Amino acid sequence: MLVPRFLGDQKIDFVERPVPVPGSGQLLVRVGADALCASEFGQFNDGASVTPGHEATGVVAAAGPNTAIAVGTPGVIFLMDYCGECRSCRQGFTNQCLSKRADYGFNRDGGYAPYELISETVFFAIGQPGDATVSPTESTILLDIMGTGGHALRRARLIRQDIESVLISGAGPIGLGLLAMCKLTLGWDLPVVITDLVPYRLALAERLGGWTVNVAEQSLADGLRRHGLSAVDLALDGTGKTVARRAAVDVLSKRGVLVCVGHGEALNLAVSVDLIATERAILGSEYFRFDELPSNLEIFRAHRDYLTQIITHRFPVREIERAYGAFIAGQTGKVVIEQ
């Protein structure tokens, strides 16, 4: 098979490698699509010893011994090769596995190759063998878009049930996924304000029902006032930036919740004022749980046309270097690589 090799300095070439053979408990997936993610920028810039790609979808091409999923089954691949036996996994917290075996695309070959070798446990079937109802490209929505966004909302609602307004920092793919999941799970009429610096992404957010604030042109507080709000009950940060997180804390209501979704920089707090007196909460949210996929699949089936608006660009795998360039330029929503 011909596999992209990340050389560093934003250069990618292609090399021939043997197609893997599945062992016991393993599946070989013929990849149909894999979505780009900003978390891969380090690999694009610095190079990678494995084949990147962690939002992969496809069809089971071969199954090793001691597996139950049939050849020809379409599905999506969960990023984390969780053990299934530790304290976290036994309670369903597969995104917090204490004995995680691998992260596909980061320390084990991922989905930009034509074939990906995985543990059967991380494959989520979206149909019966031969079912092509949902395309591989469309099914990438179930992963970092719906999965990460939906999990962050579930985390927030552990603390705050009476959410009447939401702020999302960043209208990149993660922010757009958060916006979509807010609308689909909290209610279409719920005010959701979303910020960014890029007009293209703000326009896409408006099509998804968000109230936008261009923070290159006005402050967050001024933008909220323009939409008739002085504070928000829930803030979701997809930027990973200190300035965005701090601004979000400053507009949280009493009992407000900030969920940090984007990895990155710090957050400085005056604990008495920011947390104790106001009973605010600040949470982290990492990826999502494998057992959240079934309910998200039902949501996807009911709102497919709405959700797939987030995918704005598709590139063949031979143009993956150009795809990264377009994504980094910011004039895209979700970018998908198709095999």
pTM above the 0.85 mark? yes
Q: Tell me how far apart the alpha carbons of residues 125 and 157 are, in angstroms, rounded to a whole number.
A: 28
CATH placement of domain 2-144+288-338: 3.90.180.10
* Stretch(es) of the chain classified as CATH 3.90.180.10: 2-144+288-338
As a three-state string, the secondary structure of 54-101 is CCEEEEEEEECCCCCCCCCCEEEECCEECCCCCHHHHCCCHHHCCCCC
* Stretch(es) of the chain classified as CATH 3.40.50.720: 146-284
pLDDT of res. 289 = 98
Q: Which two tokens stand for residue 140?
A: 């990438």
pLDDT of res. 61 = 98
Q: Quick one: DSSP state of residue 278? A: T
Q: Report the chain (339 residues): mean pLDDT per 10 consecutive residues.
A: 98 98 98 97 98 98 98 98 98 98 98 98 98 97 98 98 98 98 97 98 98 97 98 98 98 98 96 98 98 98 98 98 96 98
CA 212 to chain centre: 21
pLDDT of res. 51 = 98
Q: What CATH architecture does domain 146-284 belong to?
A: 3-Layer(aba) Sandwich (3.40)
Q: Which two tokens stand for residue 12?
A: 């990618």
By residue count, the chain amounts to 339
pLDDT of res. 174 = 97
Q: Tell me how far apart the alpha carbons of residues 332 and 201 are, in angstroms, rounded to a whole number.
A: 7
Give the Cβ contact number of residue 106 at 10 Å.
Answer: 18
